[in-house]
Amino acid sequence: TMEDLSISSVEGTKPSYLVSDNDSSTIRASDWEKVTWEFSDILQSISSKEKESLPVVLTKAQQLVQLLADHPLLKHEIVIANVLARILFMLYDPKPLLRSTAYRILRHTLAGRETVAQLVQHKLLVSLTVSLSTPTLLIECEEALKLIRAIMDVPEGLSLLSVGVIKALVALTERETEESPPLSTDARSIKPSNSLTSTGALSLFYRLCVETLCELLLLNPPLVFQGGGFRLLISLSVSAPTEVSFTCILAFLTLLDHPDARSFLRGGSDLDCLLSAFNLFEDNDETSKLHRRAMDSAFLISILMKSWTGLLFFCHDNFAGFRLLLMNLKRKNAKLHAIILDLLMDVLRLKMLPWLEASRLGALMKRFTTLISPAETPAPPKFEYAPVLLGTTAGQIVAHYQGLLLKILIICDIRLLLLGIINDARDPDSCDKATVLITHIFEMAVNYLPVEFYQDCLFGSSSEPISPSCISKINAAIAAPEIAAAKKVSVRNSVREMTLAHRANLDDGAFKALLSNAKTLHLKDYTEWNWVSLSQLFLGPMRLPRRFAEVQEKYPKLLKAFLSFLRPFKYRFGQIPIVSSERRGALKNPKVVIFVASQLLELLLTFDEGAQFLASNKLMPQLAEILAQVDPTSGITSRDPILSEWRLKSTLSIGYVRFIGVFSNSLRGVKILEQWQLVHLMNGIVEGSVLDEQHNHLIFNLLSNLNYSVDSPLRLLLQKSLSVSNLRIKLFVLDQILPTLVVKPECENFVIDLLVCLLFDEHDDVVLRTIILLHDFYTQEDNAAKIDYFIDAQPSVTALERSEYGALLLLKFCKRTRGFEYLLRIGYIDSKFKESVEQLLSFEYLDHIEGSLRCLFYPHLNLGPQQRDRHFFHYLLSTEEGVAYFKQHQRFLDSILQNIRSLAVKLLSVDRNEEIPQVAKKMFPAEEHSHSMKQLKQNMWILGEIAAAEYGFQLLDPSYSIFISEKHIAEVIVAVFKTGTHWQFRGLAFYILGAMSSTEEGVEILDELNWISVKSPSLAISLAYPASMGQGKFMEDEKVVARNVLGSEQSPGAPVQFDIDEEVNFENHEETVEGVLSLLNCLSSILGRIERKARSKLLKIKGEVPHVFSDVSLFLRVVDLLERGSFKYRIRVFIFSLFDTLAILSELVKRRRKN
C-alpha cells in the first residue's frame, strides 16, 4: 500500500548470524584452527600494562577487528568473558581513542542475545550512557552509537537496552539547542556552531542519531516513548531540515498503522503540530520570511495524505486535521493561499508541487535517485504525475483515493473557501489556482461521487454568493482549451475544398490573366516564374478537364516547359539548393518548387487524359533511370547519382522522391509506376540494402512518402522492407510508418499481418518494438474489440512472453472467448495460473502492487516500477469459459476467502476497554505477525481483482464455498472498513468494496449493506461509499488510552525532601547521599532559579565533602535517576563532572571480577 514507503530500518536487515558466510563456512579445518589461534594470541597479548603505549594497543585491537570482519563466524566460537577480561580496561581509560576501540571490538563480537546479556552484566550500558552524556571525541560517540545499532540487530537484543541509554541518545540528539561544550573530532574541539543544520562529520552523526531513534521507534515504541524520543522526533518533524523531518514523518506514518503504537501519539493527534507552520502567517503580510518552512511542511503533509494511513489520520475528531488545514484559506494572505492550493492540487494528484523540483528537496531527491538506482545512468526523478490508463488497477486505486479525498474536502466546505478566494480576487495567482481547483472538483465530483453526495454542497444554495466574474472564470476554465485534433483536420479539409471550388470557377478573362502572370509561357528562367500563380492555376481551373484540354490545345508550351524543367537530366530542378540563398536571382523559398510540382502531378492524375499525358512524358523514363542508378541489380551505375544521400540532403533532388509519393496516391499513378518499372527498381533498392546501407536515407524517404491505403504492389514493397532489409530500415518502419498506418481502418489488418510476421524476426529490438506497437494499439478502448483478428493470426506466444508489454497483450487475449481457447489449447492458461499462485506464495504480486503505488503517488522518489495492468485472475474471469476453468481450482479461492475471514476477525477483535498493547500481544505471535499481515493484504488485493471481473463476483457467493459461512465476504470487508484496527486495511477495504460495485450482483449486495455504488463507464471505474458519508460521517474515533511517560514506574528512590532555599547541613554520609540525590533531581526543574541553586549547592558539597562523589553506590543511583528522570545534555555533563567517572567504572569492573 501507499504507506510502505520506509526508511532504511533494521527490520529490513538480516542479523549477522543469518547471513551466508561463504568464506568462513568453506574454510578448511586446519585454516580455521589457525584463525582461532591467531585471535587468541593477539587477545592474550593485550594487557592493561601497555595502555600507556597507545599505538601498540590500537594496532593489536585493529588486528582483532580485522580477523572478526574477515571471518564473521568467528564470533560464535569465542568466549566473550575472555574478551572482556582483556579489553575492559579500555572502557575506563582516560583516552577516548581506547574507549572507542573497545566499543568497536565488542560490536564485532556480538554473537547473540547471550553475548549482549553478559555485556550488560559488565555495566556496558552504564559506559554507553556516560559516553553519550559527556564531552568527548566524536569517534567515541560514533562507535557507541554503532554498538547500540549492532545490539538492535541481534535477535531479542533490543529488549536488553535500557531506557537510560535511550534518554542519553535523545539528550545528545537535541544538544544543538543547548549552550554546552560540543563534541570534538580531535584533541582540539570543533566550534559550537555545529548542529543538525550544519554540514560535515558532526552533522552526519546527528542525522544518524535521528535515524537510529526512528528505527527504535518502529522496533520498540514503548522504549522510545519512555526515553523521551517521541517528544524529540515530533519536534524534529516540525522544525528540523526537511530531509531530517522526512525520516521522522515516514517513521510516524508506519507507526500510525499499528494499533498497539497509535496510543503513544494519542491516535495521531500529536502530529497536528505539522500544521503549525501555517499558523505563523499574518494577514496582509506579503513577506516571504516564512515561505520555506511552510513549503517544507506542505511537502511533508503531502507525503502523509497520499496514503491510506495518513489520510485516515487527518480524519480523526471529525476531520480535525483537514479543517485546521483549510481554515488557513480564510486568512487574508495570498502567499499562504498559494501554498495551500498547491498542496491541495498535489494531494488530489492534479499537479505536483510546482516549487519542488527547483528546491533543495528536489536536489536531494535527484541525489537519492542516483544512489539507489542500479543503472549506470539512472533516470532523473519525475516531478509530474504520469497519466493513468483507464480500466487498470492503478486507475481504480487513484479514482478511489481521489473520490474519498474529494468527499472529505466537500464535507469541510472547500467550495465556499475557494469561492471566497475567487470573489476576493486580491491575488491573481491565487485566484487562478482556486478557479482551476474548483473546476476539477466539479468535474471529479460528477465522475467519482453519488449525486446526493455533492448536489447540495456544490450546486445548491450557499451563503457565499457567486459573482458574475467568478462564473465567467469558471466557465472559461471548463471550456476546452484546444479543438480536438480530428475536428481540426475536418475543418481544414472543408476550408480547402471550398477554396478549390472557388478557384476552379474562373471566367475566361481571369484564366488568361492567371496564365500570363505565371510567366512560364514567356520566360525560360524558372527564377522569374510566378510560383504563386502557378499554384493557383494547378489547384484551381486546370483541375477541370475542359480547362486542361484548352491549355493543351492553345498553350501546349505551358506543361511541356514545366515538365521539361523537372526532368532530372536537364539538371535544372535537381540542382537547386534546398536552402534559400542570398545570391541574386536565387529563389527565396526553394521548397515551394517541390510543392507546386507536386500539385501539377496530382492534377494530371485526377483524370484519364492527364494520366495518359504524364505516362507518355519524358519525365517518367528519366525518373526510372535515376532509380536505376542506385539499384544494384539494374546494371546502371553512376559516379554521382542524382538520388545520392548528399544530393537528397542539400538539393531539390529530394523532390523526385516526393513525386513518386504523389503517384502512389492514386491507382492511375500506381499503374504508371508499374508501367515504367519504378516499383521493380524500388524493390531492388530495398533488397540491396541487406548488404549495403549507403542508400538508407533514400529508402527512408521513399517509404515515408508512399501511400499504402490501397492494395497495391507498394504494400509488397513495405513488406519486403521489413523482411529483406537491414536493421536500421526495419526500425525506421516500425517507429515512423506503421504507427500511422495501423490507426487507418483500411490499413489496419494489413499492418497487423506485418507485425505478426515481425514477432519471428531475428533481432530482439525489432521484436520488442513490434510488441510495444501492438500493445499501444490494442490498449486503446476503441480497438479492444478488434483483437480477435490478431488472435486469429495465432501470434507467437513465446515471443510475446519475452516482453512485459507482450505479457499484457496475452492477458487481453483472455477477455475474448477466441483468445482464451487459443491460449488454453497451447497450455498458456495452465502455466500462467501456476505462475500466479507461486507469485502469491512469494508475495511477488504484493511487492508489484506496492511498487506501482509508489510510482503513482511519489514519482519524484523513483521507488517502484512503472504501473502495469490487472492481475491474471481478473482477465481469466472475463469469459464464461474462464470461469469454468477457475471453478476447477475452487479450493484455491476458498483458501483465500477463509484466510481473509480468519485474519479479519483478529483485526476486529480489539476490546475497546482493554489497553491496546495487551490486545496486540493476543492478535498474533510475534514471529507470525509480519507474515500474516502481508498475506492478508495480498489476499485482499486479489479479492478486489476477482470481484471486479465480469464473472468474478458470482464465485464469492458462500454457496460455492466448501466452508460453511453465514456471512458474505462483502460483509466481512465492510466490518474491516468500519472498525479495523490497522488503518491501511481500512483503506484497502474501501477499495475492494468499490471493486465489487463493478457488477450488478456486487451493487445489489452493497446496497443491502447500506453502501452507495457509482459507475463511470467513460472512465471505466466503479466506486462505492458508505451511505453515512452523505451526512458527513466517515469513521468513528478510536478510544485512546492515556500513557504515562514513566509507565508503571515511579520516581527513583525516595530522596530526602527539603527546601531548596535552606542551607545544606547534613549530619552523616547517608543524609548527604540522599541530599545529593534530591539536589540532582532539582536539576530537571523547568524553573531556572531552582536549577541554579541546586547546582551551586552541589558544587558546595563537592568542595566540602568530595569523597561523597567517589561513592560507587551513589553513582549507580545517579545513573538510575538519569534513567527515570528527564535531564538535558548540559545537565548530564554537569552531573557526570561531579564524579570521577572513569575511576568509578574501574571500581565497578574490579567488583565484578571479585564476584
Q: Cα(1097)–Cα(1104) distance, rounded to whole angstroms?
A: 10
921: confidence class by pLDDT, cuts 50, 70, 90: very low
Q: Cα(90)–Cα(124) distance, rounded to whole angstroms?
A: 12
230: confidence class by pLDDT, cuts 50, 70, 90: confident
Flag whether pLDDT at 464 surpasses 60.
no
Instruction: Name the amino acid, one letter, at 805.
Output: Y
Q: Cα(1000)–Cα(1003) distance, rounded to whole angstroms?
A: 5
1: confidence class by pLDDT, cuts 50, 70, 90: very low
Q: Cα(409)–Cα(440) distance, rounded to whole angstroms?
A: 13
Residue 801: exposed, middle, or buried by beta-carbon count in 10 A (0-12, 13-18, 19+)? middle
Q: Read off the pLDDT of each residue in 993-1017 and give the average, rounded to a whole number.
A: 90
Q: Cα(573)–Cα(655) distance, rounded to whole angstroms?
A: 9
Q: Read off the pLDDT of each residue in 1128-1151 and give the average, rounded to a whole number.
A: 84
pLDDT digits (tens, 9 = 90+) for 1027-1040: 888 777 776 666 65
Q: What is the pLDDT of residue 177?
A: 44
32: confidence class by pLDDT, cuts 50, 70, 90: confident
Q: What is the pLDDT of residue 28?
A: 56
906: confidence class by pLDDT, cuts 50, 70, 90: confident
The long-range contacts involving 1078-1087, CB below 8 angstroms and separated by at least 24 positions, are 1080/1118, 1080/1121, 1080/1135, 1081/1051, 1081/1055, 1081/1121, 1081/1125, 1083/1127, 1083/1131, 1083/1134, 1083/1135, 1084/1125, 1084/1126, 1084/1127, 1084/1131
Q: Cα(987)–Cα(256) distance, rounded to whole angstroms?
A: 13
In the chain, pLDDT over 70 holds for what percent of residues? Answer: 81
Q: Read off the pLDDT of each residue in 306-329 and give the average, rounded to a whole number.
A: 86
Cβ within 8 Å of residue 926, ≥6 positions away: none
Flag whether pLDDT at 459 surpasses 90.
no
Contact 228, 173 (CB under 8 A): no
Q: Read off the pLDDT of each residue in 651-660 and give the average, rounded to a whole number.
A: 94
Q: Cα(334)–Cα(430) distance, rounded to whole angstroms?
A: 6
User: Which residues make beta-bridge pairs with 1016?
Assistant: 1021
Contact 1045, 226 (CB under 8 A): yes
Q: Read off the pLDDT of each residue in 559-567 and give the average, rounded to a whole number.
A: 91
Q: What is the pLDDT of residue 1049?
A: 36
User: Which residues make beta-bridge pairs with 1015?
Assistant: 1022
Cell numbers that stand for 241 in this block: 531540515
Higher pLDDT, 1034 or 650: 650
Higher pLDDT, 577 or 1055: 577
Instruction: Name the amino acid, one letter, at 800.
Output: L
933: confidence class by pLDDT, cuts 50, 70, 90: confident
45: confidence class by pLDDT, cuts 50, 70, 90: confident
Cell numbers that stand for 867 in this block: 504501473
372: confidence class by pLDDT, cuts 50, 70, 90: low
pLDDT digits (tens, 9 = 90+) for 813-872: 999 999 999 999 999 999 999 999 998 988 888 888 888 888 888 877 655 555 567 889
User: Which residues make beta-bridge pairs with 1013?
Assistant: 1024
Flag whether pLDDT at 481 surpasses 80.
no
Q: What is the pLDDT of residue 213?
A: 93
Q: Cα(614)–Cα(1033) distance, rounded to whole angstroms?
A: 80
Q: What is the pLDDT of residue 192?
A: 36
Q: Which helix (H) or strand (E) holds 1021?
A: strand 1021-1026
Flag whether pLDDT at 324 surpasses 50.
yes
Mean pLDDT of the chain: 81
Q: Read off the pLDDT of each residue in 179-187 and give the average, rounded to a whole number.
A: 39
DSSP-based three-state secondary structure for 78: coil
In the chain, pLDDT over 90 holds for what percent of residues? Answer: 31
Place of cell 483524370: 607
Q: What is the pLDDT of residue 10?
A: 34
Angle among Cα 574, 575, 580 to the nearest 5 degrees reads: 110
Rg (CA), the chain: 40
Higher pLDDT, 1088 or 2: 1088
DSSP-based three-state secondary structure for 26: coil
Phi (first) and psi of residue 319, to 5 degrees: 60, 40
Q: How far is CA 545 from CA 43, 73, 504, 559, in A?
A: 110, 97, 11, 15
Out of 200-204, 409-413, 482-486, 571-575, pick the least confident: 482-486
Q: How far is CA 1147 from CA 88, 122, 1049, 1118, in A?
A: 12, 12, 29, 16
Contact 1083, 1133 (CB under 8 A): no
Architecture, CATH, for domain 30-161 = Alpha Horseshoe (1.25)
Higher pLDDT, 423 or 17: 423
Instruction: Name the amino acid, one letter, at 637.
Output: T
Q: Where are the alpha helices (DSSP H) in 605-706?
A: 608-615, 619-628, 645-650, 654-663, 667-675, 678-688, 696-705
Q: Read off the pLDDT of each residue in 428-457 and give the average, rounded to a whole number.
A: 86
973: confidence class by pLDDT, cuts 50, 70, 90: very high
Q: Cα(122)–Cα(117) distance, rounded to whole angstroms?
A: 9
Q: Read off the pLDDT of each residue in 160-171 and give the average, rounded to a whole number.
A: 91
Cβ within 8 Å of residue 620, ≥6 positions away: 614, 672, 675, 676
Closest CA to 169 of 96, 99, 228: 228
Out of 62-66, 373-377, 934-938, pick the least confident: 373-377
Q: What is the pLDDT of residue 695?
A: 92
Q: Cα(781)–Cα(783) distance, rounded to whole angstroms?
A: 5
Question: Taking the alpha carbons of 852, 856, 861, 862 in that order, is the dihedral positive or negative?
Answer: positive
Phi (first) and psi of residue 462, to 5 degrees: -145, 150
Flag whether pLDDT at 940 surpasses 90.
yes
Higher pLDDT, 1116 or 388: 1116
Flag whether pLDDT at 482 surpasses 60.
no
Query: How many CB atoms sit inside 10 A of residue 647's CB?
Result: 20
Higher pLDDT, 504 or 383: 383
Question: Taking the alpha carbons of 600, 602, 603, 607 in that order, is the dihedral positive or negative?
Answer: positive
Flag whether pLDDT at 16 surpasses 50.
no
Q: What is the pLDDT of residue 956?
A: 87
Q: Cα(312)–Cα(305) distance, rounded to whole angstroms?
A: 8
Q: What is the pLDDT of residue 810?
A: 92
Contact 853, 863 (CB under 8 A): no
pLDDT digits (tens, 9 = 90+) for 672-717: 999 999 999 999 999 999 988 899 999 999 999 999 998 899 999 9
Out of 788-797, 799-808, 1070-1079, pick the least confident: 1070-1079
Q: What is the pLDDT of residue 1025?
A: 92
Phi (first) and psi of residue 859, to 5 degrees: -65, -25
pLDDT digits (tens, 9 = 90+) for 743-795: 999 999 999 999 999 999 999 999 999 999 999 898 876 677 789 999 999 99
Contact 297, 247 (CB under 8 A): no
Flag whether pLDDT at 420 surpasses 90.
no
Cell numbers that stand for 551 in this block: 491549355
Q: Sketch the domain layout of the chain as residue ranges.
A: 30-161, 869-909+927-1026, 1069-1153
Q: Cα(33)–Cα(51) distance, rounded to whole angstroms?
A: 29
Q: Which helix (H) or strand (E) holds 1022?
A: strand 1021-1026
Phi (first) and psi of residue 1061, to 5 degrees: -85, -10
Q: Read off the pLDDT of each residue in 542-549 and give the average, rounded to a whole number.
A: 84
583: confidence class by pLDDT, cuts 50, 70, 90: low
Q: What is the pLDDT of residue 443?
A: 87
